[in-house]
Structure 1
């Protein structure tokens, strides 16, 4: 613990007193993060909420929610409701393709963090915005870009903030998180929190790619420690292997029954 405190003090000195360059501050921030105690595996509540999305119907509803929210926003007559639905559609769309932490999502600035000069948009986060101190980059496919453009036309991005608050600054992360939680729970009828999008991103990769899914999930979340991803999500791979084994057994049983006829 003494090492952590010392490293934290050095970071404060470098950032606030010495005014070190950004690169040095990023490296010190990464050192502090590496010295911190390792986090425990996913909590019981998160696992229970994630398990609900093993239901294919519910998963489809979550993945198509941005489309439905955009349709509702287009037909909304009240400007405030239209803006709220459009922002929710954008937030849910982005979290599917770029499972950012809500703090980063809320602070997205159109000119500083979005590259919109091509068919596919790029989201760029400098290391100073990211927990592990490393730059992050996400590519948003053309299909989603079309919906994002349509949603952005439905409200004003004050001072370039993708999610502007009432004061004209970026919306507070707590407000955006609550907005996402409310809209998903209202439409899907299950307990939810915005951070769950990150777990669902890993779940989708592990389910589709087995062992490779851990590395893809690690990349999506911007986590440098592959062991953390395996520790938190290995149970998903085990569950998927069990499901595939049961399907194989069922197929063999049906084949045996056909041969007996």
Structure 2
């Protein structure tokens, strides 16, 4: 593949042509010029160490050697291609993994945008609206005696919100839940989400027990609505038409649209994890060890760096309450007359 095969600097389809698009096209051409000596013509060629390094060097030049999430995402994409499509050798996998590690941007806690979105829940009415949403949606879906695919989709999103609230996993793990493999149910009596460490970000095995209210909702969904959405024999909790599971990006987008439309809340799927940290730490300030386990962090420093500050208001309130209770302890209050003089 040569630079001549790259898109030209022309508008295409519905995309508006802007100066940024021109700039992006210029850097794409630089990428391929850097890789041109090896003339990659397949995925196997693309993930060769020298070719991948040359392309990543171009991206680093573009960002003036700054480690950005975009550059890291490209490196991670190359690693996934090598691992899952090309089935590359161990040396290539290890080298590309090292590239990913070296390009990973430094994280200094929660992003400003996520902090702003969490402030929506300083209003208890907003929080209560979200907490009640799964039951409200499921009741709405069940109101029809003969449900259609439309009601089934409402019920499906109700289940997704309920699980994200009760078991704040990453959306990729939620979307891939499979009955009998990662989701184990014993009717409405007991149920667990069990995910092997090889399927999660931090390589830690995860096991979430599900409460009775969640189990009842899942039972209703599986009996009344799941058959309307899933091909025959599908064991995926969130099935797609091809028999696999719904893509995490699709499910995340549907959740974002649903919550925004019904609650007026700007919320993406990953924010459920941040919300779990916020509301628990507000109730129990400093309980970072609990949040570490709940969110599956490998290191408690990650938990503290991300969530330190979300409970500040609760800490200040508790301190004020303590100080008010402490005032006057150990000394007798002397009543004061209406003229302002102490009564003897």
- TM-score, reference length from structure 1: 0.81
Using the alignment, how far apart are the partners of 1:29 and 1:106 within structure 2?
A: 27
Matches within 5 A, 1:178-257: 178-212=253-287, 214-247=288-321
Is 1:151–2:151 an aligned residue pair? no
1:73 corresponds to which of 119, 138, 141:
141
1:39 is the counterpart of 2:107: yes
1:170 equivalent among 245, 259, 265 = 245
1:256 — aligned with what?
A: none
Bigger CA radius of gyration: 2
Kept in 2: contact 1:86–1:154 (CA 8 A): no
Per mean C-alpha deviation after superposition, the further-off stretch among 235-244 and 179-188 is 235-244
Among candidates 118, 130, 134, match of residue 62 of structure 1: 130
Taking a change above 3 Å as real, the CA distance of residues 31 and 246 of structure 1, as seen in their structure-2 partners, is farther
Distance change >3 Å, CA 178–CA 260, structure 1 → 2: farther
Find the aligned partners of 2:257 and 2:151 in 1 and give their Cα distance. Answer: 16
2:180 partner SS: helix
Deviation at 1:173, TM superposition (A): 0.7
The residue that corresponds to 2:207 in the other structure is 137
| Structure 1 residue 197 displacement after superposition | 0.5
Equivalent residue, structure 2, for 1:22: none
Q: CA RMSD in A?
A: 3.4
What is the CA–CA distance in structure 1 between the aligned matches of 2:296 and 2:100, rounded to whole Å? 13
Is 2:122 aligned against 1:51? Answer: no
In structure 2, the CA distance between the partners of 1:243 and 1:187, relative to structure 1 (3 Å rule), is: farther
* Alpha-carbon distance in 1 for matches of 2:174, 2:258: 16
Change (3 A) 1:129 1:209: same
Structure 2's unaligned 5+ residue stretches are 1-55, 57-71, 328-334, 338-344
Aligned match for 1:16, one of 65, 79, 87: 87
1:98: which partner in 2? 167
Count, aligned residues: 249
- Cα gap change, 1:110/1:244 in structure 2, threshold over 3 Å: closer, same or farther? same
Conserved? CA contact 1:53–1:59, under 8 Å:
yes
* DSSP-derived class of the 1:236 partner: coil
Cα deviation for residue 29 of structure 1 reads 11
For 1:32 and 1:161, locate their aligned partners in 2 and report how far apart those are by CA, in whole Å: 34
Higher normalized helix content (fraction of residues) = 1
In structure 2, the partner of 1:109 is 178
- The range that moved more, 72-81 or 228-237, is 72-81
Q: Distance in 2 between matches of 1:128 and 1:163?
A: 21
* Structure-2-length-normalised TM-score: 0.63
Q: In terms of mean alpha carbon deviation, does 149-158 or 162-171 score higher? A: 149-158
- Please state how far the C-alpha of 1:64 moved relative to its aligned partner: 1.4
Distance 2:83 2:201 in 1: 19
Answer whether contact 1:82 1:154 (CA < 8 A) is retained.
no
Stretches of structure 1 lacking an aligned partner (at least 5 in a row): 20-24, 254-258
Deviations 1:125-156 (A, max 9, x none): 11221011221111101222112211222222
Alpha-carbon offset, residue 177 of structure 1: 0.3
Task: Please report how far the alpha carbon of residue 96 of structure 1 lies from its aligned counterpart in structure 2 after TM superposition.
Answer: 0.9
Structure of higher RCO (CA pairs closer than 8 Å, 6+ residues apart): 1
